[in-house]
Amino acid sequence: MASRTRPAVDPVALSEDAVSDRILVLKALLGPDALILAHHYQRDAVVAVADVVGDSLRLARAAAAATARHIVFCGVRFMAETAAILTAPDQAVYLAEASAGCSMADMASVDALEAAWADLAAARAGTILPVAYVNSTAALKAFVGRHGGLACTSANAVKALSWVLSQGAKAFFFPDEHLGRIAALELGLPASALAVWDRDKAHGGLDARAMDAAQVYLWNGYCVVHQMFEPGDAATWREKEPGIRVIVHPECSLDVLREADAYGSTETLARMVDTAPAGSKWAVGTEINLVARLAGRNPDKLVVSLSPHQALCANMYRTRPRSVLRVLEAVAAGAPPPAVRVDPALAGQARLALDRMLACA
């Protein structure tokens, strides 16, 4: 491989434009050997060099279908882990910024889930299947796989929950309380059938009667970014811009979701705006990089953030074109950086959860 390229260039020494140009040179050189996947929340300059841009579901599908030996993932760790689990052993997935995590994924550890599971068994709460939002660690997905449950994304949480309930089982949904709640309500369950599992309290803060009565348990994790959208934001925009449509991501709280005209995954939100007629107006409740990009590429529409606050995902923002270039330089020089590694025993179990998701999505 080393003979295929000139000596590696130090990205730090290059201007932003030169970094992007060099990425394109290396992509041409590596051809089908390299694939760059990027989430919608990435910076514009990263999105510009990506081969596939999407929500978690689209990126998981792209990884599962990929034939490239080297996959550079521009997003956060749980997404790159998912890609690593769905690819073959001779493929490598590199997280462009290795430190990019997700605070929601950190809110549910496998030990805490094991303890909750034991509590429910002791309370004889019935047959329960776990549902892991993909914003979770590989260890948690493995927990789900070995307990017969499945993973889901914001695009297919309703289908995943429906799959569990159709088997006559209760569901334990984690880590995102808000996505789990809206999916359950969407399926027609009454609020009284939902029990919040408080991760800071013994036995989730539930007594045996409450454990028995619930049909869906909701782990009380959340996304810090999507909690910036508040009830009242929609009314403010509707007063300022009559006719504006309010659309939000399902990680927002129920009160915000109820005030919106529609909700959906990042891909769904982007499609709604991109395919809307000229002159339409949109207040979008999701991460600011995506909202700003939608505004930029739809100059014939009004596209604004639903929130007056800067709803930025600092973890997504860590990745810069330089991060991508560093990986590509190393790959082209024949000395790739460490790939995302998931313990093979866990990966096999996690794959069961992801395959069930892809089959029912």
Return the number of other C-beta atoms located less than 10 Å from residue 59's C-beta. Answer: 28
Return the ∠ at Cα 280 (arms to 275 and 283), rounded to 5°. 95
Query: Which of 19, 30, 62, 313 is the binder for ligand SF4 (CB under 6 A)?
Result: 313
Which residue number, 135 or 253, has a Cβ lying nearer to ligand 13P? 135
Q: How far apart are CA 66 and CA 14, in angstroms?
A: 30
Q: How far apart are CA 137 and CA 225, in angstroms?
A: 19
Q: Which of 83, 66, 81 is nearest to 32 (CA)?
A: 66
Backbone φ, ψ for residue 169 (5° rounding): -100, 160
Least distance from ligand SF4 to the Cβ atom of residue 93, Å = 17
Verify binding: residue 251, ligand 13P, rule CB under 6 A.
Answer: yes
Residue 315 binds which entry of ligand 13P, ligand SF4, none, CB below 5-8 Å type-dependent? ligand SF4
Which residue number, 170 or 229, has a Cβ lying nearer to ligand 13P? 229
Grouping H, G, I as helix, E, B as strand and the rest as coil, residue 339 is coil
Least distance from ligand 13P to the Cβ atom of residue 23, Å = 23
Binders of ligand SF4 in range 222-261 (CB under 6 A)? 223-225, 251
Q: How far is CA 59 from CA 9, 52, 152, 316, in A?
A: 29, 7, 13, 15
Least distance from ligand SF4 to the Cβ atom of residue 261, Å = 21
Tokens of 11: 């990205």
Query: Which of 5, 42, 56, 156 is the binder for ligand 13P (CB under 6 A)?
Result: 56
Binders of ligand 13P in range 144-173 (CB under 6 A)? 153-154
Q: What number of chain residues touch ligand 13P (CB under 6 A)?
A: 11
Q: How far is CA 19 from CA 6, 49, 50, 328, in A?
A: 15, 10, 14, 11
Least distance from ligand 13P to the Cβ atom of residue 1, Å = 33
Site string for ligand 13P, 262-281 (x = CB under 6 A): ---xx---------------
Least distance from ligand 13P to the Cβ atom of residue 251, Å = 5
The answer to whether the CB of 180 falls within 8 A of the CB of 137 is no
Handedness of CA 305, 309, 315, 320 (dihedral sign): positive
Binders of ligand 13P in range 205-234 (CB under 6 A)? 223
Residue with tokens 């910036």: 228
Q: How far is CA 80 from CA 131, 187, 211, 280, 342, in A?
A: 19, 30, 35, 36, 10
Scanning 46-54, 208-216, 218-226, 233-241 for contacts with ligand SF4 by CB under 6 A, the matching segment is 218-226
Site string for ligand SF4, 102-141 (x = CB under 6 A): xxx------------------------------x------
Query: Which of 5, 19, 55, 80 is the binder for ligand 13P (CB under 6 A)?
Result: 55
Handedness of CA 250, 252, 256, 258 (dihedral sign): positive
Verify binding: residue 177, ligand SF4, rule CB under 6 A.
Answer: no
Which residue number, 157 or 187, has a Cβ lying nearer to ligand 13P? 157
Q: List residues near ligand SF4 by CB under 6 A.
A: 76, 102-104, 135, 223-225, 251, 287, 313, 315-316
Q: List residues near ligand 13P by CB under 6 A.
A: 40, 55-56, 135, 153-154, 223, 249, 251, 265-266
